[in-house]
Protein backbone atom coordinates (compact mmCIF):
# COMPACT_ATOMS: atom_id res chain seq x y z
CA UNK A 1 0.00 0.00 0.00
CA UNK A 2 1.38 3.42 -0.97
CA UNK A 3 2.01 5.44 2.17
CA UNK A 4 -0.14 8.49 2.75
CA UNK A 5 1.25 12.01 3.08
CA UNK A 6 -0.69 13.90 5.74
CA UNK A 7 -0.71 17.55 6.76
CA UNK A 8 -2.05 18.13 10.27
CA UNK A 9 -2.86 21.65 11.46
CA UNK A 10 -3.09 22.22 15.19
CA UNK A 11 -0.64 20.95 17.79
CA UNK A 12 -3.11 20.33 20.58
CA UNK A 13 -3.94 16.92 22.00
CA UNK A 14 -5.97 15.74 18.98
CA UNK A 15 -3.41 16.96 16.44
CA UNK A 16 -0.56 15.28 18.29
CA UNK A 17 -2.59 12.08 18.73
CA UNK A 18 -3.18 11.66 15.01
CA UNK A 19 0.35 12.79 14.12
CA UNK A 20 1.94 10.18 16.37
CA UNK A 21 -0.31 7.27 15.40
CA UNK A 22 -0.12 8.06 11.68
CA UNK A 23 3.66 8.43 11.83
CA UNK A 24 3.98 5.11 13.67
CA UNK A 25 1.94 3.43 10.92
CA UNK A 26 4.40 4.64 8.28
CA UNK A 27 2.59 7.70 6.92
CA UNK A 28 4.55 10.83 6.04
CA UNK A 29 3.27 13.42 8.52
CA UNK A 30 3.78 17.19 8.78
CA UNK A 31 2.41 18.93 11.90
CA UNK A 32 1.80 22.67 11.45
CA UNK A 33 1.87 25.28 14.22
CA UNK A 34 1.43 29.06 14.34
CA UNK A 35 5.00 29.95 15.32
CA UNK A 36 8.32 28.10 15.01
CA UNK A 37 9.11 25.56 17.72
CA UNK A 38 11.73 22.92 18.37
CA UNK A 39 11.26 19.24 17.66
CA UNK A 40 9.97 17.20 20.58
CA UNK A 41 9.69 13.59 21.62
CA UNK A 42 6.14 12.64 22.56
CA UNK A 43 5.57 9.79 25.02
CA UNK A 44 2.14 8.30 24.29
CA UNK A 45 0.23 6.42 26.98
CA UNK A 46 -2.58 4.57 25.23
CA UNK A 47 -4.93 1.67 25.94
CA UNK A 48 -3.74 0.31 22.58
CA UNK A 49 -0.10 0.28 23.79
CA UNK A 50 2.51 2.84 24.87
CA UNK A 51 5.15 4.21 22.50
CA UNK A 52 7.27 7.28 21.77
CA UNK A 53 7.34 9.46 18.68
CA UNK A 54 9.63 12.29 17.52
CA UNK A 55 7.68 15.21 16.06
CA UNK A 56 9.00 18.04 13.89
CA UNK A 57 6.91 21.20 13.57
CA UNK A 58 6.36 23.41 10.52
CA UNK A 59 4.67 26.77 10.08
CA UNK A 60 2.11 27.39 7.33
CA UNK A 61 4.60 29.29 5.16
CA UNK A 62 6.49 25.97 4.92
CA UNK A 63 3.40 24.26 3.47
CA UNK A 64 3.92 21.00 1.58
CA UNK A 65 1.49 19.29 -0.76
CA UNK A 66 -0.19 16.26 0.84
CA UNK A 67 -2.80 13.61 0.10
CA UNK A 68 -5.02 14.87 2.91
CA UNK A 69 -5.16 17.69 5.45
CA UNK A 70 -6.49 17.13 8.97
CA UNK A 71 -7.58 20.35 10.70
CA UNK A 72 -7.45 19.98 14.48
CA UNK A 73 -7.94 23.55 15.74
CA UNK A 74 -10.74 25.13 17.77
CA UNK A 75 -13.94 25.84 15.85
CA UNK A 76 -13.69 29.61 16.25
CA UNK A 77 -10.21 29.56 14.67
CA UNK A 78 -11.35 27.86 11.47
CA UNK A 79 -12.39 30.83 9.32
CA UNK A 80 -9.13 32.75 9.72
CA UNK A 81 -7.11 29.56 9.29
CA UNK A 82 -8.86 28.78 5.99
CA UNK A 83 -8.19 32.32 4.76
CA UNK A 84 -4.50 31.78 5.48
CA UNK A 85 -4.59 28.31 3.92
CA UNK A 86 -6.06 29.70 0.71
CA UNK A 87 -2.68 31.35 0.07
CA UNK A 88 -0.89 27.98 0.12
CA UNK A 89 -3.42 25.21 -0.46
CA UNK A 90 -4.40 25.20 -4.13
CA UNK A 91 -4.92 21.48 -4.70
CA UNK A 92 -8.20 19.60 -4.63
CA UNK A 93 -7.14 16.90 -2.19
CA UNK A 94 -9.53 16.31 0.72
CA UNK A 95 -9.53 18.15 4.02
CA UNK A 96 -11.05 16.57 7.13
CA UNK A 97 -12.24 18.77 10.00
CA UNK A 98 -11.46 17.09 13.32
CA UNK A 99 -13.16 19.45 15.75
CA UNK A 100 -16.30 19.84 17.79
CA UNK A 101 -19.37 21.71 16.60
CA UNK A 102 -21.40 22.17 13.43
CA UNK A 103 -21.64 24.82 10.74
CA UNK A 104 -17.92 24.31 10.14
CA UNK A 105 -18.05 22.55 6.76
CA UNK A 106 -19.91 25.57 5.35
CA UNK A 107 -17.25 27.95 6.71
CA UNK A 108 -14.38 25.95 5.20
CA UNK A 109 -16.16 25.34 1.88
CA UNK A 110 -16.90 29.04 1.41
CA UNK A 111 -13.23 29.97 1.83
CA UNK A 112 -11.77 26.91 0.05
CA UNK A 113 -14.35 26.20 -2.69
CA UNK A 114 -12.10 23.84 -4.67
CA UNK A 115 -11.32 21.62 -1.69
CA UNK A 116 -13.54 18.64 -0.80
CA UNK A 117 -14.37 19.20 2.89
CA UNK A 118 -15.32 16.34 5.20
CA UNK A 119 -15.91 16.24 8.94
CA UNK A 120 -15.06 13.62 11.54
CA UNK A 121 -17.09 12.85 14.63
CA UNK A 122 -14.47 12.98 17.35
CA UNK A 123 -14.37 10.06 19.77
CA UNK A 124 -10.62 9.84 20.36
CA UNK A 125 -9.99 11.58 23.68
CA UNK A 126 -6.52 12.80 24.56
CA UNK A 127 -4.74 14.94 27.14
CA UNK A 128 -1.44 16.67 26.42
CA UNK A 129 0.96 17.45 29.26
CA UNK A 130 3.27 20.20 27.99
CA UNK A 131 5.28 20.29 31.22
CA UNK A 132 8.92 19.68 30.37
CA UNK A 133 11.31 18.30 32.98
CA UNK A 134 14.71 19.88 33.58
CA UNK A 135 16.40 16.80 32.12
CA UNK A 136 14.15 16.00 29.18
CA UNK A 137 12.45 17.69 26.24
CA UNK A 138 9.76 14.99 26.22
CA UNK A 139 6.07 15.70 26.64
CA UNK A 140 3.37 13.19 27.54
CA UNK A 141 0.21 12.47 25.57
CA UNK A 142 -2.44 10.38 27.30
CA UNK A 143 -4.93 8.65 25.00
CA UNK A 144 -8.09 8.71 27.14
CA UNK A 145 -10.82 7.47 24.83
CA UNK A 146 -11.12 5.04 21.97
CA UNK A 147 -14.09 4.34 19.69
CA UNK A 148 -15.21 4.58 16.08
CA UNK A 149 -14.35 7.82 14.29
CA UNK A 150 -16.98 8.36 11.60
CA UNK A 151 -16.13 10.51 8.59
CA UNK A 152 -18.70 11.92 6.22
CA UNK A 153 -19.76 14.90 4.20
CA UNK A 154 -22.26 17.57 5.16
CA UNK A 155 -21.86 19.92 2.19
CA UNK A 156 -24.45 19.91 -0.61
CA UNK A 157 -21.91 19.23 -3.33
CA UNK A 158 -20.53 16.17 -1.54
CA UNK A 159 -23.74 14.54 -0.28
CA UNK A 160 -23.77 12.11 -3.22
CA UNK A 161 -20.50 10.53 -2.04
CA UNK A 162 -21.37 7.11 -0.70
CA UNK A 163 -18.23 5.16 0.00
CA UNK A 164 -18.28 1.38 0.21
CA UNK A 165 -16.46 0.86 3.47
CA UNK A 166 -16.80 -1.54 6.42
CA UNK A 167 -19.95 -3.15 5.11
CA UNK A 168 -21.70 0.11 4.17
CA UNK A 169 -23.43 -0.39 0.84
CA UNK A 170 -22.51 2.02 -1.92
CA UNK A 171 -25.69 3.27 -3.60
CA UNK A 172 -25.68 3.53 -7.39
CA UNK A 173 -25.65 7.28 -7.93
CA UNK A 174 -24.55 9.05 -11.07
CA UNK A 175 -21.34 10.91 -10.26
CA UNK A 176 -19.10 13.25 -12.21
CA UNK A 177 -15.49 12.22 -12.79
CA UNK A 178 -14.41 14.67 -10.07
CA UNK A 179 -16.85 13.11 -7.59
CA UNK A 180 -15.68 9.59 -8.47
CA UNK A 181 -12.08 10.67 -7.94
CA UNK A 182 -12.91 12.21 -4.56
CA UNK A 183 -14.75 9.02 -3.55
CA UNK A 184 -11.67 6.94 -4.32
CA UNK A 185 -9.43 9.37 -2.46
CA UNK A 186 -11.49 9.48 0.72
CA UNK A 187 -11.89 5.69 0.69
CA UNK A 188 -8.10 5.27 0.54
CA UNK A 189 -7.60 7.91 3.25
CA UNK A 190 -10.08 6.19 5.59
CA UNK A 191 -8.21 2.90 5.09
CA UNK A 192 -4.94 4.53 6.16
CA UNK A 193 -6.51 6.32 9.13
CA UNK A 194 -8.14 3.07 10.24
CA UNK A 195 -4.81 1.24 10.03
CA UNK A 196 -3.18 3.93 12.17
CA UNK A 197 -5.82 4.40 14.88
CA UNK A 198 -8.83 2.10 14.54
CA UNK A 199 -11.63 2.27 14.10
CA UNK A 200 -12.31 4.81 11.33
CA UNK A 201 -15.26 4.38 8.98
CA UNK A 202 -17.33 6.27 6.42
CA UNK A 203 -20.90 7.16 7.36
CA UNK A 204 -23.47 8.03 4.70
CA UNK A 205 -25.89 9.46 7.30
CA UNK A 206 -23.17 11.68 8.73
CA UNK A 207 -25.38 14.66 9.46
CA UNK A 208 -27.42 12.49 11.85
CA UNK A 209 -24.24 11.35 13.62
CA UNK A 210 -23.01 14.93 14.00
CA UNK A 211 -26.39 16.24 15.21
CA UNK A 212 -26.64 13.48 17.81
CA UNK A 213 -23.11 14.22 19.02
CA UNK A 214 -23.95 17.93 19.10
CA UNK A 215 -26.96 17.28 21.36
CA UNK A 216 -24.78 15.17 23.68
CA UNK A 217 -22.07 17.84 23.85
CA UNK A 218 -24.65 20.61 24.34
CA UNK A 219 -25.67 18.95 27.60
CA UNK A 220 -22.42 17.54 28.99
CA UNK A 221 -20.01 20.35 28.14
CA UNK A 222 -21.79 23.42 29.55
CA UNK A 223 -23.12 21.62 32.65
CA UNK A 224 -19.69 20.29 33.62
CA UNK A 225 -18.19 23.71 32.92
CA UNK A 226 -20.66 25.73 34.99
CA UNK A 227 -20.53 23.26 37.88
CA UNK A 228 -16.77 22.60 37.54
CA UNK A 229 -17.26 18.85 37.66
CA UNK A 230 -16.05 15.78 35.79
CA UNK A 231 -18.27 14.25 33.13
CA UNK A 232 -19.50 11.39 35.29
CA UNK A 233 -20.75 13.77 37.96
CA UNK A 234 -23.70 14.92 35.84
CA UNK A 235 -25.26 11.53 36.66
CA UNK A 236 -26.97 11.28 40.04
CA UNK A 237 -28.41 7.90 41.03
CA UNK A 238 -28.45 6.77 37.42
CA UNK A 239 -30.20 9.90 36.13
CA UNK A 240 -29.09 13.22 34.67
CA UNK A 241 -28.80 16.08 37.14
CA UNK A 242 -31.54 18.72 37.04
CA UNK A 243 -29.73 21.26 34.81
CA UNK A 244 -28.69 18.58 32.31
CA UNK A 245 -32.25 17.24 32.24
CA UNK A 246 -33.64 20.74 31.66
CA UNK A 247 -31.30 21.32 28.70
CA UNK A 248 -32.17 17.94 27.21
CA UNK A 249 -35.90 18.50 27.61
CA UNK A 250 -35.67 21.81 25.74
CA UNK A 251 -34.07 19.97 22.81
CA UNK A 252 -37.13 17.74 22.43
CA UNK A 253 -38.76 19.60 19.46
CA UNK A 254 -35.44 19.73 17.58
CA UNK A 255 -34.74 16.06 18.22
CA UNK A 256 -38.21 15.15 16.99
CA UNK A 257 -37.70 17.07 13.74
CA UNK A 258 -33.99 16.59 13.01
CA UNK A 259 -33.35 13.18 14.59
CA UNK A 260 -36.63 11.35 13.90
CA UNK A 261 -35.07 7.92 14.44
CA UNK A 262 -34.23 8.85 18.06
CA UNK A 263 -36.64 9.45 20.92
CA UNK A 264 -35.83 11.86 23.75
CA UNK A 265 -35.24 8.80 25.94
CA UNK A 266 -32.77 7.43 23.36
CA UNK A 267 -30.76 10.65 23.43
CA UNK A 268 -30.85 10.71 27.23
CA UNK A 269 -29.41 7.19 27.35
CA UNK A 270 -26.69 8.23 24.88
CA UNK A 271 -25.76 11.18 27.11
CA UNK A 272 -25.63 8.96 30.19
CA UNK A 273 -23.53 6.36 28.33
CA UNK A 274 -21.01 9.00 27.19
CA UNK A 275 -20.85 10.54 30.67
CA UNK A 276 -20.19 7.11 32.19
CA UNK A 277 -17.58 6.10 29.62
CA UNK A 278 -15.71 9.40 30.16
CA UNK A 279 -16.57 9.68 33.86
CA UNK A 280 -13.10 10.76 35.00
CA UNK A 281 -12.56 13.23 32.16
CA UNK A 282 -12.96 16.97 32.33
CA UNK A 283 -14.85 18.23 29.27
CA UNK A 284 -12.92 20.21 26.67
CA UNK A 285 -15.10 23.24 27.46
CA UNK A 286 -14.26 23.06 31.16
CA UNK A 287 -10.55 22.75 30.37
CA UNK A 288 -10.76 25.77 28.06
CA UNK A 289 -12.36 27.88 30.81
CA UNK A 290 -9.82 26.70 33.39
CA UNK A 291 -7.00 27.73 31.06
CA UNK A 292 -8.58 31.10 30.28
CA UNK A 293 -9.28 30.19 26.66
CA UNK A 294 -12.27 30.91 24.47
CA UNK A 295 -14.73 28.01 24.27
CA UNK A 296 -16.57 26.41 21.33
CA UNK A 297 -20.01 27.09 22.83
CA UNK A 298 -21.10 29.14 19.77
CA UNK A 299 -20.64 26.07 17.54
CA UNK A 300 -22.35 23.67 19.96
CA UNK A 301 -25.27 25.20 21.88
CA UNK A 302 -25.10 28.26 19.61
CA UNK A 303 -25.63 26.12 16.51
CA UNK A 304 -28.62 24.38 18.09
CA UNK A 305 -30.09 27.78 19.01
CA UNK A 306 -29.74 28.89 15.37
CA UNK A 307 -31.46 25.71 14.16
CA UNK A 308 -34.27 26.33 16.65
CA UNK A 309 -34.69 29.96 15.60
CA UNK A 310 -35.10 28.88 11.97
CA UNK A 311 -38.01 26.72 13.13
CA UNK A 312 -39.51 29.21 15.62
CA UNK A 313 -38.61 26.94 18.55
CA UNK A 314 -37.77 28.61 21.86
CA UNK A 315 -34.44 27.70 23.46
CA UNK A 316 -34.39 29.94 26.54
CA UNK A 317 -32.38 27.57 28.75
CA UNK A 318 -29.72 27.02 26.11
CA UNK A 319 -29.50 30.77 25.51
CA UNK A 320 -28.98 31.36 29.25
CA UNK A 321 -26.25 28.72 29.22
CA UNK A 322 -24.63 30.34 26.18
CA UNK A 323 -24.45 33.71 27.95
CA UNK A 324 -23.19 32.12 31.18
CA UNK A 325 -20.32 30.35 29.38
CA UNK A 326 -19.47 33.55 27.50
CA UNK A 327 -19.12 35.34 30.85
CA UNK A 328 -16.79 32.62 32.12
CA UNK A 329 -14.52 32.71 29.08
CA UNK A 330 -14.06 36.46 28.64
For the chain, what is the total number of helices (H) and then of strands (E)?
11, 14
Q: Provide the pLDDT for residue 205.
A: 87
Instruction: Give the percent of the chain with pLDDT over 90.
Output: 78
pTM: 0.89
DSSP tag of 283: P
CA 202, CA 176: separation in Å to the nearest integer? 20
| Polymer length in residues for the chain | 330
The residue among 289, 282, 295, 152 whose CA lies nearest residue 230 is 282
Other Cβ atoms within 10 Å of 1 Cβ, number = 8
On average, the pLDDT of the chain sits at: 89
- Phi-psi bin for 228: left (phi > 0), alpha (psi -120 to 50), beta? left
Q: Provide the pLDDT for residue 124.
A: 82
Does residue 157 have a pLDDT over 80?
Answer: no
Higher confidence at residue 159 or residue 94?
A: 94
Angle at 11 between CA 303 and CA 299, to 5 degrees: 5
Strands 5-9 and 68-71: parallel
Instruction: Return the H-helix or E-strand segment holding 316.
Output: helix 316-328
Domains for the chain: give ranges and CATH numbers: 5-204 (3.40.50.720), 207-328 (1.10.1040.10)
**Confidence band for 135, pLDDT divided at 50, 70 and 90:** low
CA 30, CA 296: separation in Å to the nearest integer? 26
Other Cβ atoms within 10 Å of 16 Cβ, number = 23
Q: What is the pLDDT of residues 300-323, one digit of tens each?
A: 999 999 999 999 999 999 999 999
Q: Provide the pLDDT for residue 1.
A: 61
Q: Which residues lie below 8 Å from residue 323, measured CB to CB, with a gap of 6+?
A: none
CA 4, CA 11: separation in Å to the nearest integer? 20
Does residue 210 have a pLDDT over 90?
Answer: yes
Exposure on the CB side of residue 130, measured as CA atoms within 13 A: 5
Amino acid sequence: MTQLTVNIIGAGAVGHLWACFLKRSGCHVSLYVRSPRESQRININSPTGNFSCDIDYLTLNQWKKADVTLICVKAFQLRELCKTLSQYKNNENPTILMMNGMGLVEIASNVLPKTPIFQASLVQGALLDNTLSSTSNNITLTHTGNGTTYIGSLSTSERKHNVEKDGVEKRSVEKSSVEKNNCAKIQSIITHLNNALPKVAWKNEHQQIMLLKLCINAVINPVTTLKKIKNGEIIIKGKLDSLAQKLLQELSPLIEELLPSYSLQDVQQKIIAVAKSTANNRSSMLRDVELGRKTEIDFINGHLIRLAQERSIEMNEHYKILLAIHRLST
